[in-house]
Amino acid sequence: MSTVVLPEHLQELLAQAEQQRGRAKRGRYAPSPTGRLHLGNLRTALLSWLITRLQGGEWLLRVDDLDTPRNRPGAEEAIVADLEWLGLRWDGPVLRQSQRRGIYATVLSSLRRRGLLYPCRCSRRLLADISAPHGRSPVYPGYCLSQPVQWGVQQGRLPSWRLRLQPGELHWSEALGSPGCLEASTQVGDVVLRRSDGLFAYHLATAVDEALLGIRDVVRGLDLWHTTAPQIALIQILGAGLPDYWHVPLWIDGAGERLSKRDGGLGLPLLREQGHDAASVVGLLAASVGLVEPGARLSAEELLRASELEALRGQLASKA
């Protein structure tokens, strides 16, 4: 797969990130400030923290706040407070994607100059949810792939910009199962990197951050498995090493549905009202994937001292 030549300051950041990847494992937790964290989100945070700390690595907190229409006032503060209450301490300051827009714009320009992007003017009505950031999306059929490149406003709107993926299989490492593999043309398609409203899309920001922050382990929900392929394609185009991916089980409620922020899924406020403290919540989260016995009470640090990476991997793999 061809690579893109980045400006010198981003090449330096990429070199520093690769040095970081060689020194120590670095993980991250990347919530979006669209509501309170539910138990599934909190369990993923705990597992991400645990996997990184068991390897002696740094754990970063990155707030994915680029989709401003969906952000909710006070959500970031609530997320930070919940993580602190559970004892999940991160390294360095909180990183916000909204403060990294200049980096994404520079990468986007480099990709465009290299001929790896093309404008798309397909409407949402024509392609419903084709650029949805989470979960499995329909494969873009390539309506605009061969159209003349026109950058400006037409009929009152700018184009979105799509990554021109080459046919072939995209492979990545899965820590909890068989290696991931999707065919670029038939199973992935040309994903949006900048939306028609001017917002940088999920795939661009996530891939750029994994590459430039030197992330070695990406721990996230199993519902994001299909998003991995376009992201690793972009990371490879940037010339960075690929992370290891841990796609962990989702929290399923009594009705067999996964928890959702949109539904006001079970979170810390309700548990606190019911009398739970941090030790009982950590025990609840850990017991839900078989790391401790039901009813256990322990701090995050105590869980860390009682855990072993390969045993944790095996337990999660059995649940995935």
Q: What is the pLDDT of residue 319?
A: 84
Indicate the residue type of 222: L
- 300 inside domain: yes
Residues of the chain with pLDDT under 50: 130-135
- 145 inside domain: no
- Tell me how far CA of residue 164 lies from CA of 21, 141, 234, in angstroms: 28, 12, 10
Q: What is the pLDDT of residue 172?
A: 98
The first and second tokens of residue 52, run together, are 């990184």
Structural domains in the chain (count): 1
CATH of the domain at 55: 3.40.50.620
- 90 inside domain: yes
Q: What is the pLDDT of residue 77?
A: 97
Contact between 18 and 215 (Cβ < 8 Å): no
- 146 inside domain: no
Which residues lie closer than 8 Å to 68 by C-beta, 6 or more apart?
A: 98, 199
- 148 inside domain: no
- Tell me how far CA of residue 77 lies from CA of 260, 270, 281, in angstroms: 19, 17, 20
d(CA 68, CA 128): 20
Residue 219 domain boundaries: 8-140+154-319
Contact between 234 and 163 (Cβ < 8 Å): yes
With 0-12 CB in 10 A as exposed, 13-18 as middle and 19+ as buried, what is 317?
middle
d(CA 243, CA 276): 36
- 149 inside domain: no
User: What is the CB neighbour count within 10 angstroms for residue 12?
Assistant: 11
Q: What is the pLDDT of residue 1?
A: 61
Contact between 186 and 165 (Cβ < 8 Å): no
Q: What is the pLDDT of residue 78?
A: 96
Q: What is the pLDDT of residue 55?
A: 96
User: Nearest to residue 53, comparing CAs of 201, 293, 219?
Assistant: 219
Q: What is the pTM of this model?
A: 0.92
- 265 inside domain: yes
- 23 inside domain: yes
Give the chain's radius of gyration (CA, Å): 20
